[in-house]
Structures are given as structure tokens and as C-alpha cells.
Structure 1
Amino acid sequence: MTAVSTREHWIDTPHGRLFARRWTPAGAAVAAPVVLFHDSLGCVALWREFPGQLARASGREVIAYDRLGFGQSDAHPALLSRGFVEDEAQQGFAALRERLGLERFVAFGHSVGGGMAVGCAAAFGPACEALVLESAQAFVEDRTLEGIRAAERDFARPGQMARLEKYHGDKARWVLRAWVDTWLSPAFADWNLDARLAHLQCPLLCLHGEQDEFGSARHPERFVAQAAGPASMKLLADCGHVPHRQKADEVLAQVCAFLA
């Protein structure tokens, strides 16, 4: 089995430090690294075994980072703006790209991280060689909002916030409110990624669970329909919102074949 080494980085930004980790397989090919963009409650640690598995399977370096306010990164100084998804390209990711010298990259985004990956691919053009979206949202759908409301009720039960505190520490309540309050805000109701998708030129792969509790197949369908470059989608049977855990082998096979 190919050995994979890890290295950690701290990245300074105008608003605080970001934490990042990179997984490098032995004899890694000279190919663009895969940058992972986490979901609304996620962080580097919550990718669990997947980054190492992807590095080993693809032969590429894999990089993940905690956005400001999440995981081991510094606390976020404010509430999220309506444009927080698109803005990540010129904020946290731009700082990561400069610090690690990423001339080329593959963007892989899960859930809201998929929207951020779209924004990065659109903003940096030819530097983004390929884009993988997993359970990503292209617009605000009733199913997404229903899933968020259900999750909010779950976290209100005794002891449930400890699940977030394990990964985000004293930032956990901000993490939850940033997700719930932003998406449920009337000001966010007409948000979508259509303008960014029109600028995508790189190949796009959309993976989506058929039982995704936070979005229907309308999302990958819209990504594929709106993207300016070559695009394809794969619906995963018996799979919910986290394919890289629920269907890890299938996700790895799909992504590696796409990148090859």
C-alpha cells in the first residue's frame, strides 16, 4: 500500500490564521493537487480518512483547510455575508493558494464547499484544472431549508452541541448559527451560483446521493446544464448527503477515473 505523509500549515490572513493539512503520497505524480472545501459544519478533521484515501488512490497531493471560524482556524470576527460562498475564492482560498504556491489545482467541494469550489474555479480560470462537486447546492431549495430546520431541532436537544464542540471548540455555536441563520434568512432566498457557472471552463463532475436530505437531483442537473465547460453527473444509489463516507469506494473510483 502506498505510504502517505502529512504536513500541517498555519496561514495568516487579515482576519486571523487558517489551519491546513496536506497529504502527499509516496512518489506523487507531478500533477495539480486536489484542494478540499468542507461543508457548513465541517473542518479538516471531519474529512476523516478520505483525504488520505484520495491521495493514495489518485497519486496526487490532497490539501484541506479550515475556513475562518471553523476547526482549528481562528474565530470569525463577524456574521456571514450573503456573498460568503463566492467570496471564499478571494479570501481564505486566495491566502492558502499564495502560501502554498498552488499554480494549478483541482477543486473538490462538499455541500456548501461545492459552491466555494465553483467560485474558485470561476475566479482562477486556467489554474483550476478540474472541479468535483459532492452534494453541492446550486440554489436555495425547500428541501435544503427543511433539512437545516431539522438539524437545528436536533442540535437543540440536550448534549448535541458537544458534537460540534469536539471539532470547533468554543466556536461551535457560531458555526451552527452561521449555517442556520444565513440559509434561513429571507435575504438569502434567491441566492444561486448561475453567474459563476457561466464562467466555468474546466471539466466538471457532480456526485450526488439519491437520498440526500439537503438537496434533490435538481442541483447536479443545474450545475451540468449551466456550466460553460464539459460536465457530467452521477447519482449514487442508497446514499445521503455525505458520499465520501457513505459510498467511499464509489466516490474514489468516480473521482480517480475523472481525474485520469
Structure 2
Amino acid sequence: MMAFNWSDQIIDMGHGMRLSVRLGKHSERHTGRPVLLLLHEALGCIAMWKDIPQQLAAHTGCDVVVYERQGYGLSSTIELPRDDDYLLEEGEVWLPRLIDKLKLNNVILLGHSDGGSVALIGAASMPGLVKGVITEAAHIYIDHLTTAGITEAVERYETSDLKDKLAKYHGERTDLLFRAWHETWLRERKQPMNLRPWLPRIECPALIIQGREDYYGVPEQVTDICAGIGARAESLFLPDCGHVPHFEAREKVISAVVRFIKQHNSA
């Protein structure tokens, strides 16, 4: 079995921003095999992926990059209020800049929830570099389940142990990140969130995954994403699965990722 090693870096992105990155590399690697770049959810961080990056590396043979967006983990902090279009800035500016800093030129983006939305924008913005995009529970607009799910989460944050669970990962940033999430998604906006215009610019194959029981997004999120991308996109609905497919349907998600990579990468 080939050795596989992880290393942690802090990448200076300029403009006072530093991002925390974890790099996983095989000791030997097939030439041309893509790098899997993982993008976390709205309340996520590197640690919250748990063993998923390692499992993906083992099953695909790909090197893996996991990073924390601004405000999360060891990356630079954020200030409130967060802009309505923060997902666009992440996908159009910071993700391409990070890929350039890491000197990656053959990337498959795998994003969960917010990270899935950022991955779609990134794929549209970097057609030459991104060879595939996989999303779990991505949003291209705010639907009634999104609003209801976040509203319910706010109540749980105030009345249950949800805050304590998140604090294990986010520490003193917990309140800040939770506010950044729910205040941005629940407030009145000048323009409704709409990522549809970016979808036709995605030239690479796409796998769009969602749990049938996802309480944060309607099934049309998937069908509308696939319709916007066109024939290059395929959908995967997972039964008895909620908002976190890589944990709730782990084996199915890993198998789907392996199949996707084999299908669209000959190396």
C-alpha cells in the first residue's frame, strides 16, 4: 500500500487574509490524476469532515486538499454583516486564488451545502482548471425549506446543546459564525439569491447529490442545477438521507465519487 501523508499550511492570500489548508498526498501518484478539493458547509471546518478526506483519498487514489474559508478554523476572521453575495466572492475570487497559490491545474471540486454552491461558481469561473464538480446539498437560491430549516436551527441553538456541539469545533468563534450563517440567509435582500446565470458556464462534468430527506433544500435545487448545466450534469438522490450525505449515506457517496472520477478521468 502506498504511503499517504497529511500536512497543514497557512496560505497568505493577500489583502490581509490567511487560509488554513490541509494537503493529503500519496507517495506515488498516476500522472494526470486529479486533485480532490473539498469545500465545507456553512458551519463547517476541516475537522468536521472527520475521516471523509482520508476515505476519498484511499478509494480514489487522488491527492486531497481541504481548506477553511475565511472566518473558519485557523483562517482569518470575518466581520459582520456578511455581504449578500459572499458565495460569489468565494467562488470567483478566493477559490481561484487559492488554487493558483497551490499550483493546481487538474482539480475536481467537491463541496457540501455552502461549499457546493461555491464549487459551482468556481467551476464556472475556472473552466480550464476544474475537470469536474461534485456537490452535496448545494443551493442556487433560497427556498422555503432553507428558510424553515435555518429558523428551526436558530431555535435549537438557543434551547438545546447545539451551541455546545458547534463550540467543540469553532471555540470562541461559534456565536460569530452562527450569526454569519443565519443572519445572512434569513434577512431581506436587495436582490434574491440566484446562481442560475453561472451554471451554463460550467464546461466540466458535474454530479449533483442531495438526500431525499434534506430539510434545507427542495429537490428542485438539484433538477434546476442540472438543467442549468445541461447534458454534462447528472443527479443523484439518496433515499433515507438528510442534509449531510457523506455521513448519512457514506458508502453510496464514496462509490458515486469513485465512479464519477473513473468515468471522466482516464488516468
**TM-score interval, normalised by the smaller of the two chains:** over 0.9
Which amino acid letter does the alignment assign opposite residue 19 of structure 2?
Answer: L
Please give the residue correspondences for 1:239-258 in structure 2 after superposition, counting only pairs within 5 Å: 239-258=241-260
- Give the match for residue 20 of structure 1: 21
Indicate conservation of the 8 Å contact 1:199/1:228, yes or no: no
Residue 216 (structure 1) shift:
1.8
Please tell me whether residue 5 in structure 1 is matched to residue 5 in structure 2.
Answer: yes
| Aligned mate of 1:164, from 163, 166, 169 | 166
Please give the residue correspondences for 1:81-230 in structure 2 after superposition, counting only pairs within 5 Å: 81-157=83-159, 159-187=161-189, 190-228=192-230, 230=232
> Which whole-Å deviations, capped at 9, do the CAs of 1:136-190 have from their partners, x for residues lacking one?
1121100011000111111112653222222122211111011101110110772
The 2-side partners of 1:220 and 1:103 are apart by 27
SS of the residue 1:252 aligns to = helix
Which amino acid letter does the alignment assign opposite residue 9 of structure 2?
Answer: H
Indicate conservation of the 8 Å contact 1:198/1:226, yes or no: yes
Indicate conservation of the 8 Å contact 1:121/1:128, yes or no: yes
Give the unaligned 5+ runs of structure 2. Answer: 263-267
Indicate conservation of the 8 Å contact 1:25/1:61, yes or no: yes
Indicate conservation of the 8 Å contact 1:15/1:77, yes or no: no
Which amino acid letter does the alignment assign opposite residue 192 of structure 1?
Answer: N
> Which whole-Å deviations, capped at 9, do the CAs of 1:221-260 have from their partners, x for residues lacking one?
0111111451100110110000101111110100110111
The 2-side partners of 1:183 and 1:236 are apart by 25
Which amino acid letter does the alignment assign opposite residue 11 of structure 2?
Answer: I
SS of the residue 2:105 aligns to = coil
Indicate conservation of the 8 Å contact 1:207/1:236, yes or no: yes
Indicate conservation of the 8 Å contact 2:96/2:126, yes or no: no
State the TM-score, normalizing by the size of structure 1.
0.95
SS of the residue 1:156 aligns to = helix
State the TM-score, normalizing by the size of structure 2.
0.92
> Which whole-Å deviations, capped at 9, do the CAs of 1:2-59 have from their partners, x for residues lacking one?
5431111111121321101022234332312011111100011101110010011010
The 2-side partners of 1:71 and 1:24 are apart by 21
SS of the residue 2:159 aligns to = coil
Indicate conservation of the 8 Å contact 1:210/1:239, yes or no: yes
The range that moved more, 125-134 or 16-25, is 16-25
The 2-side partners of 1:178 and 1:172 are apart by 10
Change (3 A) 1:3 1:249: farther
> Which whole-Å deviations, capped at 9, do the CAs of 1:73-99 have from their partners, x for residues lacking one?
121134321111111124432332122
The range that moved more, 168-177 or 39-48, is 168-177
- Give the match for residue 73 of structure 1: 75
The range that moved more, 121-130 or 89-98, is 89-98
Please give the residue correspondences for 1:225-240 in structure 2 after superposition, counting only pairs within 5 Å: 225-228=227-230, 230-240=232-242
The 2-side partners of 1:100 and 1:239 are apart by 34
Change (3 A) 1:163 1:194: same
The 2-side partners of 1:49 and 1:65 are apart by 15
Indicate conservation of the 8 Å contact 1:15/1:76, yes or no: no
- Give the match for residue 63 of structure 1: 65
Indicate conservation of the 8 Å contact 1:68/1:92, yes or no: no
Give the unaligned 5+ runs of structure 1. Answer: none
Any runs of at least 4 consecutive aligned residues in structure 1 with deviations exceeding 3 A, and if so which?
A: none
The range that moved more, 159-168 or 189-198, is 159-168
The 2-side partners of 1:237 and 1:189 are apart by 34
| Aligned mate of 2:39, from 31, 37, 40 | 37
How many aligned positions are there? 260
The range that moved more, 122-131 or 160-169, is 160-169
Identical-residue share of aligned pairs (%): 29
